[in-house]
Chain A
Amino acid sequence: MTRWTAQQVAGLAPDASSLTAARRLARPGPWSDTGSTPTLLWGKCQGSGKTPYQVSIDLIGPAFRCSCPSRKFPCKHGLALLLLWVDGSGSVADADEAAGFAQEWASERSARAEAKAAGDAAKSTRTPDPAAAAKRLEERLALMDGGMDDFARWLTDLARSGTASARQQSYAWWDGTAARLVDAQLPGLADDVRSVGGAVSGRPDWAERLLVALGRWWTATRAWSARESLGEDQLGDLRAYLGWSTSTESVRRADAVTDRWLVLGAHRSDDGRLQQQRTWLRGNASGEIVQVLDFAAGGQVLPVARVVGSSLDATLARYPGAAVRRALFVDEPAVADDRGRMPSGASLEEARSAAAQAWGRNPWARRVPVVLADVRVGVDRVVDADGASVRLTDDADVWPLLALTGGRPARVFGELEESRLRPLTVVVAGDGGGSGDGDGEVVGL
């Protein structure tokens, strides 16, 4: 299997000092009995004590175990061993069989996972009190109904008095509205209100943005009051937008697909409160593209990003929804040996039209994944073979992309958001030149 990059390892460190400490240890000196299989990495590290620490790492999870007393997780020994492994200079050799202590741990882990799965299954078969559940649902719906009515009234008031006067309001006014939505268990909608409210005062295009947002919110209130007539998929998309979460257990039980999934690209964002990681996967057999979302708040660490361009054999359960669907891994995916081929991609016009169709089915989707063929990257935009062009999002780091493509046509995977593109992955043509279907190097940005 492909070894990771040093940057990926750095991304796992709980803090800067652990990483610094790990770098010091990342040399062959203190290590013995090291080795790796495609799934496991292990070694013994001589610390200040008499017995060396035993370090085992499950590369798929990834998960760590170390016999040292550190409370950091992962500890410096785990990170150091990864760095040593990544370094690839041969100090950690590939092995067919894991060392005893690592194998033991791996078996324990899988036994625990099975026990947990069995427990979960038992839990789900355990019938909860249906009467109590129905009562809880009724209460929640009543609360949401009330919140939506209230919000619709707020919208019509705003429409009557005009957006110019809304713009004069302080942020507290927007925040108050958002807080009432949170109380009515509509946190997703509340986030949207906060973010629009925060942007209206500062942006030159505020009037159109706010108008479009009003339309979006109004659509939500209409859709909610007509929810009896919505299909399960449409309701699923609406729920996701409003922030009414679907329990992972119920997702797991329904609509799972087993396929070989190509990791198309990934994006990480951090708004200071919450870190989010979106991973886009494309099913080999179905051709469907889904997103897996991971979140981390406070001191939590996001799971390691999947290697872009690699293939995973996995069963994914999809959340209810019509388009741009979210999914979760039902079980731990296995990394497939072959690197998948990136789909060949479309022109900007085709991509735009596909995105329009996706938005037609799910108006709540913030962004739509697209694979673009033969686009040339400029400093602030991409241009396709027909001369059609789309601007890049403000958060796009265009320089690596420019460096990799050099102004030549390349296949780019990214997200269309409003009318802009956020590039996430590029296929760099090999030395043979050309950018057709030939396999190039897939690079995550």
Chain B
Amino acid sequence: MSDLDTWWRDVGNAAVVGTARRPVPPLPDLGPSGVQARPAGQPREEALLDAAALGGAALRAGRRLDHAEPPEAAPDDQRAEAPRRAVQLLELVLTQPPAGAAQRTGLLAHWLRAADDAGCRVPHVLVPTLLTLATGSRELRRPTAAVLDERGRWLAGLREDWSWVTDAAAGAEARSASRAAGIAPPADEWGRLPSTDRVAVLSSVRAHDPAAARELISSTWASDSARDRRSHLETLRIGLGPDDEPLLEAALDDRAGTVREISTELLDVLPGSARAARMAERLRPLVRRTGLLGRGVEVTLPDEPDPAGVRDGLGKPPPRRSARGWWLEQLCAGAPLEVWAELTGADPSATVKRLTDAQATDALAGIRRAVQARRDPEWAAALLERGWDATLVPALPRERRERIVLQRVDATTERVHEIGSVVGSVDAPWSPDFSVALVSRLRASRFGSAMVMASMPHLLAGLHPAALDPLERWIESTGADQTLTTNLRNLLQFHSVKRSITEAFR
């Protein structure tokens, strides 16, 4: 410790207790600085204050610098920064979200996905803001992690509350790797993956190489828990095809009821399967044509099934269902729809009419399920002629789907509570024609304001940019309805920003 340090410590001690109780240490020799103590005879308290002034100045100006290791630098980024225009839009969404704060997450998610698809990264300066936002809202984490690149991941590693990035980035990477190549992980690695990740991996592999995913499922089938077996089978929904039949057929003998249940459900989707043929075989004797011209139909309920029938899904009915009615429904849901032409000699439309006349509700319920599962457009149309059912709409080809939904909107212009499910049955994004037509119908409705409110989530997700002009014209004429104006304006802003984002990455 130097003289000066000792002196300053003693000055400090004197200051704490006061000069009334302790003397002030004499100034050490400061050598070339030329600073000298005042002549003796100065009151103690003034000597202390002099010393404080001197020491303070020395501390401030003369303190040696610390030395420290420089921090580890971030690796070089792999991706290019997002285009300038896109960056401006991101700034806009971050700092002053158009369309209200509530829609910020939606726009951000769109931006992040567009950036990832374009292989871009977020500009460095916006990384902290983005990380902070994504820390607060989970659905943004994965898309954020995907566009951070090296610099962003490095930054996130420096802060505890950003540690989620490591996991999310690994997930995003695995996903983008498998999205690009669709490569299944090696068997031993698959075996070690935790259950939650396995489903994600299966889903992505399944999308590119269904057989590889199926092999992964089989490879650990014997040792997996019933719960895992079920959730793995569920992923077969992606790209389900005849090749999956053997695995599903085998799963009908599974010891767990939940696994058997999902395999019958999936086999319902495959009209060419052996099980479908068996179900048709069981159904045939139950359906009889009636009337002179054979234009009627009569359906009898099945009897107690044999063990093979139980294995095919003719088991215990759901609560408060008649067992025989349930079995009939199961038969109709599992059999190929073609069997009806053979049994009634009529097309789907006429068949549905005759079954309706015969009040064969259980049979119709089964057919409905088969149509939903197999997305059969002709049968879906036939059923929709008899009555509205939003769950059948997705089975129709887009053009027809949009037309039928518009008809439904026309028929229900006064039923606000229904509009959401009606327009929601057309999956986003919507076609230009449909979008424009829908906006004009909403505008014409007496309850336009409430209808917009009720269908807002779908309008945000689905509307095509072509509807923005009509939307703008509508806003100009809304008059005093503030809620409507605000909703429409948010809608307009949301879509115009979204469109700009998409364009900015082109």
Contact = CB atoms under 8 A, between A and B. Distances in A.
Contacts of B126: 403
Q: For chain B, give the interface size range.
A: 35 or more
A162 B73 contact: no
Interface string B10-47: 01100111111100000000000000000000011110
Interface string A364-391: 0000000000001111010100011111
A23 B70 contact: no
Contact of B52 (A88, A212, A376, A379): A212
Contacts of A160: 18-20, 44-45
A89 B499 CA distance: 13
Contact of A24 (B17, B48, B49, B489): B489
Contacts of A161: 18, 20
Given A89-B500, A162-B15, A388-B65, A402 B155 contact: yes
B506 interface: no
Interface residues of A, number: 66
A215 B49 contact: yes
Could you say which of B49, B159, B496 has the most chain A C-beta atoms within 10 Å of its C-beta? B49
A27 B493 contact: yes
A422 to B, nearest CB: 15
B15 A211 contact: yes
Given A155-B49, A356-B61, A406-B154, A215 B55 contact: yes
Interface of B is mostly: helix
Contact of A378 (B54, B57, B70, B95): B70
A403 B127 contact: yes
A376 B155 contact: no
Contact of A443 (B15, B45, B52, B125): B125
Contact of A406 (B69, B74, B493): B74
A215 B96 contact: no
A390 B56 contact: no
Interface string A135-160: 00000000000000000000111011
A10 interface: yes
Contacts of B293: none
B63 A419 contact: yes
Contacts of B61: 355-356, 359-360
B307 to A, nearest CB: 66
A23 B16 CA distance: 58
A23 B496 CA distance: 13
B124 interface: yes
A352 interface: yes
Interface in B151-186: 151-152, 154-155, 158-159
B60 interface: yes
Contacts of B54: 215
A39 interface: no
A214 interface: yes
B125 A389 contact: no
18 contacts: A27-B492, A88-B85, A155-B49, A160-B18, A160-B45, A211-B52, A212-B60, A215-B54, A216-B56, A356-B61, A383-B69, A399-B155, A400-B128, A403-B125, A403-B128, A406-B124, A406-B155, A408-B73
